[in-house]
Structure 1
Amino acid sequence: MTRQQDADGGRPDDGREPSASELVGAAIGGVARRAGIDPAEEATTGDVVWKAMGGVRGVLESILPSLVFVIVYTFWPRPLILSLGLSVGIAAVFTLVRLVQKSPPAAAMGGLLAAAAAAALALFSGQGRDNFVIGLVTNAVYGTAFLVSAVIGWSLIGLAAGFLMGEGTTWRQDRRKRRVFRWLALAWAALFFARLAVQLPLYLANETTLLGTLKLVMGLPLFAPLVAVTWLAARALYPARRV
């Protein structure tokens, strides 16, 4: 597979049908590339991390809806629709801005749909804590996926890097790359499971304000350093492949 394979996970250049691992690598690699995390590109670590977070707008989109919910819910827990409505309303404004600026529809709508689904769940149950259920499930799914990929020797980080660097799955023949990608996958699994380990007990204890606060604290502040480590490790593995 070469870097000319289409970024959407289409057929490799040799015309054969892509394997499941190549499709997964293409999907994850495409997401990483759109987020600015491509070890083949020349960029500083700071630039990569900042782009992965989405810049100023991405940071605001990640923080403001949850922050507004936590603040409003803390001082005015009832009616619940007030805090949820303001949170979803802010997400809707960001979505509208993206659509006006002709961002890809999926990127523009993803955050809004997630916020709306979480709010709908909380309104249905009448419990503010349920606004965070989708986040808890997401952490569990992502953590499990990264952990399993590391255990079976098909690191999701390796699959993405292999796609981005045009080597497909041949990185698995390199002991050093396998080891590094395995540890990176375990590091990402640890991040997601750490969030779950801290936040799930708070959810069960109905500590909604503290749950929302720690969700913010364990969000970008933990995500950014791990992006930097992943980027630096991947670049170290491909010093002669930079373009």
Structure 2
Amino acid sequence: MRQAEPERPEDEPSAASAISAALGGAARRAGLDPATSASTGHVVWAAMGGVRGIFESVVPLVVFLVSLTVWRDQLWLAVVCSVGAAAVFTLIRLAQRQSPSAALGGLIAVGVAGALVLFTGRAEDNFIPGFVTNILYGSAFLISALARWSLIGLAVGFLMDEGTAWRRDRRKRRAFRWLAIMWAALFFGRFAVQFPMWLAGVDVQTLGMVKLVMGIPLFAPLVAVTWLSVRALYPRAGGGARADTPTA
């Protein structure tokens, strides 16, 4: 009986290939390429964007919370200060001719949240975009895991030049599925904790602190777990060589 030929890139579903390329490209730009020999600490630090990346993700919210504490009846001023902080980071990147994508994304998110706050007149509505983001990201990771097309696997397949061949390897398929579930749990966990607090009318400063605690402190360890898991699946990647695709 003739054996099936190995899966070629041109045989892959076009949608899967496009998603794989997009995810893999984003991971590579973030310094998450398992084909490199970077240390786990370096990878986690790169994924967070270093000191600048941490400041860009944390400072706008901190400024918003502090401004509300100082000027309790000046909601518009807290929004202006928050958006202004995000804008400064974007302008600095542009002035230094660096990629403004991360800072620009943060600016847009802060701007949308600020616009919603001004529209409703409720400071706590600053967190609504974050709720939506967590639901969307969590759903995407969970659906990909349940459908056996893990987003983690798609990204790694692109980076390791094996396309979707990882789906024929039970060990990889299982690992990527559980990694996707872990990422889904992170996003759903944030929503499960913060949304009830928002509904209960918990003060903005407390909710903001919870959001900060459930941000980078949870994101960084999961990046490390993901990186170490992928490197274990591709032990030759650290030496700069691409791992051969194992048979099923």
TM-score normalised to the size of structure 1? 0.91
Q: Does 1:225 align with 2:240?
A: no
- State the AA in 1 paired with 2:52: R
User: What's the offset of the Cα at 1:104?
Assistant: 2.8
| Counterpart selection for 1:188 from 180, 183, 187 | 183
Q: Does 1:31 align with 2:18?
A: no
| Counterpart selection for 2:104 from 95, 100, 109 | 109
Q: Tell me which residue corresponds to 1:154.
A: 149
The structure with the largest alpha-carbon Rg is: 2
Q: Tell me which residue corresponds to 1:206.
A: 201
SS of 1:224's partner is: helix
Q: Tell me which residue corresponds to 1:120.
A: 115
Q: Does 1:236 align with 2:232?
A: yes
SS of 2:36's partner is: coil
User: What's the offset of the Cα at 1:15?
Assistant: 7.0
User: What's the offset of the Cα at 1:225?
Assistant: 0.2
In the TM superposition, what whole-angstrom CA distance separates every residue of 1:128-161 from its partner, at most 9, and x where no partner exists? 0111111110000000000011111000000000
Q: Does 1:20 align with 2:15?
A: yes
Contact 1:99 1:108 in 2 (8 A): no
User: What's the offset of the Cα at 1:209?
Assistant: 1.7
User: What's the offset of the Cα at 1:16?
Assistant: 7.8
RMSD after superposition: 1.6
In the TM superposition, what whole-angstrom CA distance separates every residue of 1:17-61 from its partner, at most 9, and x where no partner exists? 961111111111111111101111110000000000000100111
Structure 1 alignment gaps of length 5 or more: 1-12
Distance 2:93 2:227 in 1: 27
User: What's the offset of the Cα at 1:210?
Assistant: 1.5
How many percent identity over aligned positions?
61
- State the AA in 1 paired with 2:191: L
Q: Tell me which residue corresponds to 1:3.
A: none
Q: In structure 2, do the counterparts of structure 1 residues 173 and 100 end up closer, same or farther at CA, with 3 Å as the change threshold?
A: same
Distance 1:220 1:17 in 2: 35
TM-score normalised to the size of structure 2? 0.89
Distance 1:18 1:177 in 2: 19
Q: In structure 2, do the counterparts of structure 1 residues 205 and 184 end up closer, same or farther at CA, with 3 Å as the change threshold?
A: same
Q: Does 1:90 align with 2:90?
A: no
Q: How many residues align structurally? A: 231
Q: Does 1:67 align with 2:59?
A: no
Contact 2:83 2:110 in 1 (8 A): yes
